Amino acid sequence: MIDPIALSLGPIKVHWYGVIMGLAFFLGTYLARYNAKRAGYDPDHVLNMVVLIIPAAIICARAYYVIFEWEHYRDNLMDMFAVWKGGLAIHGGLIGGVLAGTWYIRKHRLPFLQLGDLLMPSVILGQAIGRWGNFINQEAHGGPVSAEFMSRFPAFIRDQMLIGGQYYHPTFLYESLWNLLVFGVLMLMLYRWKRFDGQVLFSYMILYSIGRFYIEGMRTDSLLIGNTLRVAQLVSLSLIVLGIVLMVIFAIRSKQVNRPHKSME
């Protein structure tokens, strides 16, 4: 088992979870600045948004998780602040990030869909990296599997997925790899395949949610409604439908705007 504490400085303990999340935010911000500058936008807008988005995302991600796990936290209120132990719900983080980003964009009268397209590759890259924080904390894994099944994976993954003498599906790895694939698709779309504003944003909503919906069904620690309905699957399904509807609407609008007008005779 990997020690979750990366570094101890007296009473101060630096957890791998925090280090990995910090790396995810750093690389995501760097990429977003690069994409913004290449598209002709002031990259300082990205930094200004990140200053708002990161704390908003963390707070909402934690609040989202605590709300659905209230039975545990109502008798352990101080644990609500122990984010280094894990328990950051991605969908909650997305809600917080979108709210903070939208506020900044509206305040400075920036184009929402264009900036959304520029930021989404950074978001999915950060999610791909962040899943390795779950790996360190031995969370976000799936159900039990055999030693023969786990023999297909590198030793360091096998060892970390051996919990209480039982191997578990490394679903964190499945989602991380899926997110990297989506990242590649979004980058290609941004620089080669984009036909209208919002295309990358809506594609993120669809593609990420497809993977999350499937992988969530394998996990053992899902947030639930009524002990049966997996919250992440419900949200993912909603985002897939919404993303498809918006994609169709804006694709049609784009064709109508770019359609050549026939001259009057």
Where are the chain's structural domains?
A: 5-141+153-253
CA distance 133 to 21: 7
Query: Rounded to the nearest 10 degrees, how much is the dihedral formed by the CA atoms of 137, 141, 145, 150?
Result: -60
Residue-level pLDDT, tens digit, the chain, 265 residues: 888 888 888 888 888 988 998 999 999 999 999 999 999 999 999 999 999 998 999 888 888 888 777 666 766 666 666 666 666 788 888 999 999 999 999 999 999 999 999 999 999 999 999 999 999 999 889 999 999 999 999 999 999 999 999 999 999 999 999 999 999 999 999 999 999 999 999 999 999 999 999 999 998 887 787 777 888 899 999 999 999 999 999 999 988 776 654 433 3
Q: Which token pair is 30?
A: 């760097």
**Among 80, 78, 60, CA closest to 69:** 80
pLDDT for 79: 62
Residues in the chain: 265
Q: Which token pair is 86?
A: 């894990």
pLDDT for 229: 83
